[in-house]
Amino acid sequence: MRKNLKGCKKLARETLAGNFTVPVVGSIAVAGMSVISSYISTALFPGDSLYAIIGGEVFSFILSLVICVFSAGLYRVYLNITRREKYSFGELLYFFSHQPDHVIVASFVLALINLVTSLPMAWFSFTTDMGSTVEAQMNWAVNYMLLTLLGFVLNLLLAMPFSMSYYILADNPDMKGGQALKASAKLMKGHYFAYLRLLLSFVPWIIFSMFTLYLALIWLVPYIETCLAVFYRNISGEFDEPPVAQFLDETEA
């Protein structure tokens, strides 16, 4: 029987209880790799020239593809947790030895969307001066936040059809990256509003995390990802009686 959003979150809490170690370590590792890649990019391409902007973005883009292979292993962990199946730290490196090219192809599209939607903010940040007066600095900050928000919204909307790609690859490692993207877009049809409702339900918790200096994200991020894993299982028909077979036409393509 398919679950509503409340049921998805309930199952996520139940299955995640006592299983935080690997998800927390994995989430911290992904965040750490992203921060390190940003520092490396800045160090290799300093300044605000066009070369530095483009070079930095391209370098970060390439590194993000490698990080995504690690992230795909983490998605596999979340699925195993929600299914109450065995998992280990080794799952985090699973895709480095199981068709990493399939993950990279899917990641390329998602990373490209992220790159394109972040370019206006990056260009504004590198090419405009904050000014010397309080008024000028306030105007700069407002424009920066608006462009950041615009990029976030555009990225969310453009990437939404492909949001289940990593879960699909975790279940079907032999499926090609393009097939996983196609399967995700097909699977998400009719579920965009439910997906947005699920994401928006975490906004108060994210705001609360600010008052903990974001330390609460250590536990919140694994909870969100576990909820999304249950959401994937839900819309893919896994909770139906009998379970609905998915992705057969994609894997045979």
- The answer to whether 171 and 148 have CB atoms below 8 angstroms apart is no
- Calpha distance 90→76 (Å, rounded): 11
Q: What is the pLDDT of residues 146-183, one digit of tens each?
A: 999 999 999 999 999 999 999 999 999 899 999 999 99
Query: Measured between alpha carbons, how far is residue 247 from residues 51, 76, 82, 110, 182 in Å?
Result: 43, 17, 20, 20, 10
Q: Is 249 a domain residue? A: no
Q: Is 126 a domain residue? A: yes
pLDDT at residue 37, as a whole number: 84
* Average pLDDT, 10 consecutive residues per value, the chain (253 residues): 83 92 91 86 77 78 86 93 91 89 92 86 79 84 90 92 94 93 95 94 92 89 94 90 60 49
Quick one: 199 exposed, middle or buried, by C-beta within 10 A (0-12, 13-18, 19+)? middle
pLDDT at residue 35, as a whole number: 86
- The answer to whether 102 and 177 have CB atoms below 8 angstroms apart is yes
* CB contact set of 240 (below 8 Å; sequence gap of 6+): 1, 2
Q: Is 248 a domain residue? A: no
If one counts every other C-beta atom within 10 angstroms of the C-beta of residue 99, the result is 20
- Count how many domains the chain has: 1
Q: Is 190 a domain residue? A: yes
pLDDT at residue 118, as a whole number: 85
- Calpha distance 11→31 (Å, rounded): 26
Q: Is 49 a domain residue? A: yes
DSSP 8-state symbol, 27? H
Tell me the pTM. Answer: 0.85
Task: Give the residue numbers spanning the domain of 91.
Answer: 5-242
Place of tokens 């990802």: 225
